[in-house]
Structure 1
Amino acid sequence: MNKSNITRTAGAIALVATLAGCASSSMSYTEPAVRQKTTISKTINRSRDAVWAAAVPALGKDFFVINNMDKASGLINVSYSGDPHSFVDCGHVSASFTNARGTQNYDFDGSDKDANYTQFKSPLLINLHRQMNLDGRINIIFEQPTPDTTTVTVNARYVLERRIQARANNGAGDSRRDEISFSSNGRAEYPALGASQTTVCVPTGRLEQDVLQLIN
């Protein structure tokens, strides 16, 4: 290595040491607010055959995937996979990171699909990338209490995946994957990461309501 390279390397090491030496970070978490229970059924003043016939194309045209149907038992199963933010509430995260270059503040919902933030774990600066994905399975049950009325009930099962990738300023990397599941009007918690508290997730009710609104 020539002298100029040695000088540049030494300078880079000194810069990293300086940035890390005066660094600090913080993180706080707010759990989801208490929600009213979501209405998961409605009664329609039409026969079950008529409601079923209209529901199948309506569900197929939206963002749901129809997995199976059994008209004899009155059951349709649909699924959704993707961004969880509209359908799940995992509270809110506020974080900050300070070093010689200044302070960076981070605010994001716990159910945001993607979030990036930096934390200081002495003696390292760690950049984190967090990803969330929802796989929702919804059973739609069609019942006929009278010949001219149909009751539609929606039961959703949420499977929520969290992936966290970490990269330290020394080049070291790590990753973690956690998965939780819960049903309509239920809740679940991700395990704590280090000294941080657990992350609580609950359904917003929109998934069930979106399904019910398509069926008339």
Structure 2
Amino acid sequence: MKTQNKFLIVSLIIFIAVSCSTTARFVPVPVTRVIEKERIVNKPFDVVWQSAVEWFATHNTPIKNMDKSSGLISTEYSLPLSDASRYMDCGSTKSSFSGYTNLENHSGNFNVLLKKVGDNATKININVFFGCSVNTYQSKGLLSTDYVLKSSSRINCTTTGTLEKEVLDYIEAF
């Protein structure tokens, strides 16, 4: 009888713990940042163009489209997780007793648009777009250490402004 009572009490405690636990969830980015995306440099268009192309080459960033006549250079790439946190803020995740949520597959693209505003002045405009997958995993069972993918969705992330600053500073210093 005592064994049955112990089993019943333990089962009840586990049931209550699982019932009261919060689910794994994603917490969006609450902060709006002021980002410098545009700068006018006192250099001819051709010099600035060469500097922009060199930035892509020296940073191993593949160019998707390039058109000197329009001043457009664009890219699309995947970011290693170690770099993702420097360049983007995708929010945070909360784990629970029954599962967890991960931010995965960080990627981005950005455009550099150059415009001649004078013989020795060029306007640089950088537009950055980042995103990642929000994957929620659920425990296979009450005492299991194995998890299965419950849901996945793609979200837009917020730029930290670091990439824009790095590119603008590099092009201006060339």
Given residue 175 of structure 1, which amino acid in structure 2 is its aligned partner?
A: K
Given residue 14 of structure 2, which amino acid in structure 1 is its aligned partner?
A: A
Corresponding position of 2:88? 88
Corresponding position of 2:4? none
1:180 to 140, 144, 155: 155
CA contact (8 A) 1:135 1:158 kept: yes
Distance 1:128 1:50, change over 3 A: same
SS in 2 for 1:85: helix
Asked if residue 42 in structure 1 is aligned to residue 39 in structure 2, the reply is yes
Corresponding position of 2:166? 210
Asked if residue 78 in structure 1 is aligned to residue 34 in structure 2, the reply is no
Summarize deviations over 1:17-44 as a string: whole Å, max 9, x none. 3762452535895853343x21101111
Given residue 150 of structure 2, which amino acid in structure 1 is its aligned partner?
A: S
Summarize deviations over 1:191-213 as a string: whole Å, max 9, x none. xxxxxxxxxx5322223223222
Structure number having the greater helix percentage: 2
Task: Report the TM-score when normalising by structure 2.
Answer: 0.72
Unpaired stretches in structure 1, ≥5 consecutive residues? 1-12, 92-109, 120-125, 182-200
> Equivalents in 2 of 1:59, 1:211: separation in Å?
9
Distance 1:166 1:21, change over 3 A: closer
Percent of paired sites with the same residue: 25
CA contact (8 A) 2:45 2:122 kept: yes
Asked if residue 143 in structure 1 is aligned to residue 143 in structure 2, the reply is no
- Give the superposition deviation at 1:64: 2.6
CA contact (8 A) 2:90 2:131 kept: no
Number of aligned residue pairs: 156
Structure number having the greater strand percentage: 1
Flag the structure with more relative contact order, 1 or 2, with Cα contacts below 8 A and sequence separation at least 6.
2
Matches within 5 A, 1:92-131: 110=92, 117-119=95-97, 126-131=98-103
Q: Please, what is the CA RMSD of the aligned residues?
A: 3.1
Distance 1:30 1:140, change over 3 A: closer
- Give the superposition deviation at 1:129: 4.5
Given residue 88 of structure 1, which amino acid in structure 2 is its aligned partner?
A: M
Summarize deviations over 1:152-172 as a string: whole Å, max 9, x none. 100122233212222232468
> Equivalents in 1 of 2:49, 2:28: separation in Å?
42
Corresponding position of 2:11? 17
CA contact (8 A) 2:65 2:75 kept: yes
Corresponding position of 1:133? 105
Corresponding position of 1:162? 134
Unpaired stretches in structure 2, ≥5 consecutive residues? 1-6
Distance 1:210 1:64, change over 3 A: farther
